[in-house]
Amino acid sequence: MTYETTLPRTIEKRSQNLFPFSLHGDIDWSEKRSSRSVDIALEPSRPTFPLPELVSASSIAYPEMIPVWQQPGLSLVHASELQFRLIEQRYILRRRAEVIGFIKAYLFLAPLLLEAYGKIAEYFGPRTDVVLEVVSDPEAANYRELFILVRTSLTPSEALTLLERFDQEWWLDASEKARCMLNIDVEYI
């Protein structure tokens, strides 16, 4: 016999003994003695193939709100581009290039800025203008910080009362994520 004649028969013989197995416990295993050895070889006597349950994307339970940039399937580059677009839509950027450069240097601020915008709207109203500005500290050389300035026409006492409540209820805990690179204040118009 030649190689060409034995190979197809070997493949045919092996394929008769192959079963695609399911990982479920629905297979009835029986003992079978191998003709080549005295060991026991296990082989399914009746394989069953349960159909997998089909899952649609709408049937998956997600938390009530997942920020768009944290949803499955987004790359880091795509997520940061999306975050920058959302930041530019929500905030007024003073000296835009400087603000964008600062956020790019400290990317961990982007999700916090988007979260902060929502919280500011809760406390100061949804139509409140919010400004982003990079501020240099005159007392510390080369120290810059990003400021969120909530523009308000409230009286100073009303605005400061709201800001204090905002600080106590959300910002003091959230500010740890800012790593001393972000601050929030009011700006009177």
| Buried-state track 147-163, b at ≥16 Cβ within 10 A, e below 16 | bbbbebebeeeebeebb
Per DSSP, 171 falls in state I
- Of the candidates 166, 158, 168, the residue with the CA atom closest to the CA atom of residue 188: 158
Answer for the pair 69, 83: CB distance below 8 angstroms, yes or no: yes
Per-residue pLDDT, 19: 47
- Residue 158 C-alpha from the chain's centroid: 37
Per-residue pLDDT, 80: 78
Neighbouring-strand partners of residue 152 = 188
Per-residue pLDDT, 23: 45
β-strands 130-136, 92-93: how paired? parallel
Could you report the average pLDDT of every consecutive run of 10 residues in the chain (189 residues)?
52 49 47 47 50 50 52 55 91 94 92 95 92 90 92 94 95 93 94
Per-residue pLDDT, 82: 87
Per-residue pLDDT, 184: 95
